[in-house]
Amino acid sequence: MAKNVLLVDDSSTMRKIISRSLRQAGLDFGEIYEAGDGQEALAVLEKESIDIVLSDINMPNMNGIEFLREKSNRPGIKDIPVFMISTETGEDIIGEAKSLGAVGALKKPFTPDKVNEVLGPLM
């Protein structure tokens, strides 16, 4: 069954690009939901049926690391997989994200081919 995706990024442009890249990559997904920061993402996860989250790290209000930490404390949503899409590629911050449950990371900028390569197995 096609998976519902939540895109979390403070840039509306980036959310549109990721959404378009998913389509261009030919990946099979259901509904796409959007959030502008970690707080908004938590609210969407509590309300909607989301199968996978694609999240930025550097965001105002609640960043991607804080989002992962808070999500891990909420029993109803803690097992929903999160994939990081960010300019942050340092081993320390990606390592921290993975220790909090992130299942992988994709560096910005990216091409649709790269999206297909790294996200295809998750879809």
Partner 1 sequence: MELEKNLIDATLEVFASMIFIDIVPESPADHPGDEPDANVFSLIGLAGDLKGILTIQCPAEVALGVTGAMLGMEVTELGEDVKDAIGEITNMVAGGLKVALADAGRKIELAIPSTVIGKSIRTSGLSGATRASVRFASPLGRFAVELRFVLS
Contact residues: partner 1, CB under 8 A:
10-14, 16-17, 20, 58-60, 86-90, 107-111
Label residue 115 exposed, middle or buried (CB < 10 Å: 0-12, 13-18, 19+): buried
Nearest distance in Å: CB 43, partner 1:
21
Nearest residue (CB) to partner 1, 82 versus 88: 88
Nearest residue (CB) to partner 1, 21 versus 50: 21
Task: Name the nearest CA neighbour of 101 among 122, 61, 75, 71.
Answer: 71
Nearest distance in Å: CB 49, partner 1:
28
- DSSP E strands in the chain: the ranges are 3-8, 29-35, 52-55, 82-86, 102-107
Nearest distance in Å: CB 88, partner 1:
7
Strand partners, 7: 34, 54
**How are strands ordered across the β-sheet holding 3-8?**
29-35, 3-8, 52-55, 82-86, 102-107
Nearest residue (CB) to partner 1, 37 versus 50: 37
Nearest residue (CB) to partner 1, 53 versus 85: 85
Nearest distance in Å: CB 112, partner 1:
9
